[in-house]
Amino acid sequence: MWSLSVKPLSISTFISYNPNIKPLKFQCNIPPPCKSHYQTERGHQFNVGDTFFRTESATARDLGVLSAALYRNTTGSLRVLDAMCGCGIRSFRYLAEAEADFVVANDANENYREIIVGNLSLVSSGSGEGKRWEVNHLPATRLLADCYLRKDYFDLIDVDSFGSDSTYLRVALDAVKLGGFLYITSTDGLSSGGHRPQQSLAAYGAYVRPLPYSNEIGLRMLIGGAVREASVLGYHVVPLFSYYSYHGPVFRVLLQVKRGKPPSSRYYSFISYCNRCGNTRAFSWNELGEISCPCSTNVSCSLVVSGPLWTGPLHNAPHLTEMMSLADQWGWFGDGEGKNLEKLLKQMIDESDPKLPVGYLNADEIASRAKLNLPPLSVIMNSLHEVGYTVSRSHIAPNAIKTDCPMVECVKIVKQLQQPAEMSSCP
């Protein structure tokens, strides 16, 4: 009987039979240890490590936490999904400050796990039905879709995305409770500035062209995209606040999701801007064939049209008033950072006036059209009030005002203000 002894082939033996194959190089995929880098926000110290983190986004986190706390005070419970949590500071603040019952902190980068868990460990994790938080590492759209399929709905979904990634909008709407909050983000300043109309059309269903108030357009583009996606699902959304921050730039909007069609469709329409006179106007779908400006009969040469976009109020004044009261109760208005937040909330409340139209009048454009140096904006605003116009400062642009006064009339009023000043300076 023959006996066989089998000798396993070594790598070198294999190569000798396959001269064209190069030796394999084995690498270890164990991630390097994260470097500790500590920050402090609202009295909380946390580790950001090597994660992407912006100190300037603290205000957006403040606004989200205040709204989450108000929701919990009203409903008695709060479940939060932080879909792109980074180092986990938002998730931690929802737990520690808004007293969320449960938070899912998710980031697709598994290398962040040590940082996230370390920060959330400052809050007791609990167990079983009393579990307070968990950490996941899935693509945001997959996590949101999984929650929908499992009928695991959340009171607040926070998606702090980068660029114009709107693919998460529909699945986020699927995973949020009716009556719950959806806190969404865009950082696509090129699209909002009208420099990539095909991109804005693909991402948000809006063909956006250059306008002098492009940063407000960025907020309206984002809301309009959510309006479109919600309508497909038989829902409608209501903006509770819209926040623009120059760093990035960053456009953040908190929406409340409700069942059924909106009471009115007039707020999802088109915006025209006249380069000749500076006038802005919103046009409904039924008026598309009638877009014009009184200053000119040649529409093609003077008008720029963008849309469809959200053309309604950017904020809900009662909600902002409650946020302001809560922030004051928490003592958030005491320091320099708090004064900025208080000023911001006051400006947002003023911007909530439904009489205020789309856009704002930039001081530089007013001065250019009037061909003179402007008095302080407060003087111009008082004059507009005196003749019956609604006016407020814009939180988006510090050198601009929001008003229902057309640009042409505003220029006339500014010139009238200049005449008494010139007469008083005469010998």
Say how many Å lie between the first and final Cα of the chain, rounded.
Answer: 130
Residue 421's pLDDT is 53
Residue 129's pLDDT is 85
Residue 215, classified by CB atoms within 10 Å of its CB into exposed (0-12), middle (13-18) or buried (19+), is buried
Residue 301's pLDDT is 72
Rounded CA separation 246/215 (Å)? 9
What's the CA angle centered on 298, arms 293 and 301, to 5 degrees? 95
Contact between residue 308 and residue 288 where contact means Cβ atoms under 8 Å apart: no
Q: Is the entire prediction scored with pTM above 0.85?
A: yes
| DSSP SS3 for 239 | strand
Q: Which residue type sits at 403? A: T
Provide the sign of the torsion angle of the four alpha carbons 65, 69, 72, 74, taken in this order. Answer: negative
Q: Residue 304: beta bridge partners?
A: 273
Provide the sign of the torsion angle of the four alpha carbons 382, 387, 391, 397, taken in this order. Answer: negative
Residue 187's pLDDT is 94
CB atoms within 10 A of CB 342: 16
Contact between residue 413 and residue 387 where contact means Cβ atoms under 8 Å apart: yes
H or E element in which residue 175 lies: helix 169-175
Both tokens of residue 340?
């900025």
Length of the chain: 427
Rounded CA separation 178/155 (Å)? 8
Rounded CA separation 364/218 (Å)? 21
Rounded CA separation 133/121 (Å)? 9
CB atoms within 10 A of CB 210: 15
Residue 264's pLDDT is 77
Contact between residue 214 and residue 193 where contact means Cβ atoms under 8 Å apart: yes
307 phi-psi bin (left φ>0, alpha ψ -120 to 50, beta other): left
CB atoms within 10 A of CB 183: 27
Q: Rg (Cα) of the chain, in Å, rounded?
A: 27
Per-residue pLDDT of the chain (427 residues; tens, 9 = 90+): 344 343 344 433 333 334 444 444 444 444 555 577 889 999 899 999 999 888 999 999 999 999 999 999 999 999 999 999 999 999 999 999 999 999 999 999 999 999 999 999 999 888 888 999 999 999 999 999 999 999 999 999 999 998 877 889 999 999 999 999 999 999 999 999 999 999 999 999 999 999 999 999 999 999 999 999 999 999 999 999 999 999 889 999 999 999 998 877 889 999 999 999 999 999 999 998 888 888 876 656 789 999 999 999 999 999 999 999 999 999 999 766 677 999 999 999 999 999 999 999 999 999 999 999 999 999 999 999 999 999 999 999 999 999 999 999 999 999 999 875 554 444 5
Residue 295's pLDDT is 85
